[in-house]
């Protein structure tokens, strides 16, 4: 149990740091403007108007959730501790509060 709580805190702090750093470098603003155009070029046959990417990159909860998921998938693969896959459910509200 203590391993899980430590993982939640570490993931929340890492995600908060990465989010703040990318916010300082104006990456989120750039992605909000240009991500939909990139998807149109990559997959022109798909319709992205139902959920445009600028909504994803402007939502703090969504971005911290997906960053937590990516970190925890790698952590679960490399450590073999499958409970890392449950960490985003607990770390995302913490990182959203910290951002």
The CA-atom distances, in angstroms, between 19 and each of 52, 61, 68, 71 are 20, 11, 11, 13
Q: What is the pLDDT of residue 38?
A: 80
Q: With bands split at pLDDT 50, 70 and 90, how would you rate the model's confidence at 94?
A: very high
98 falls in which pLDDT band (50, 70, 90)? very high
The mean pLDDT of 48-74, rounded to a whole number, is: 87
**pTM of the entire structure?**
0.86
How high is the pLDDT of residue 48? 58
The confidence score (pLDDT) of residue 54 equals: 80
In 1-99, DSSP assigns E strands to none
- Specify whether the CB–CB gap between 82 and 2 falls below 8 A: no
């Amino acid at each position: 149990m203590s391993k899980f709580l430590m993982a939640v805190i570490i993931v929340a702090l890492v995600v908060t740091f990465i989010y703040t750093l990318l916010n300082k470098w104006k990456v989120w603003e750039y992605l909000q403007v240009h991500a939909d155009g990139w998807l149109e070029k990559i997959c022109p046959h798909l319709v992205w108007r139902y959920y445009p990417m600028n909504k994803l990159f402007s939502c703090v909860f969504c971005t911290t959730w997906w960053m937590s998921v990516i970190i925890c998938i790698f952590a679960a693969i490399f450590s073999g501790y499958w409970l890392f896959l449950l960490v985003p459910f607990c770390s995302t509200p913490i990182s959203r509060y910290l951002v």
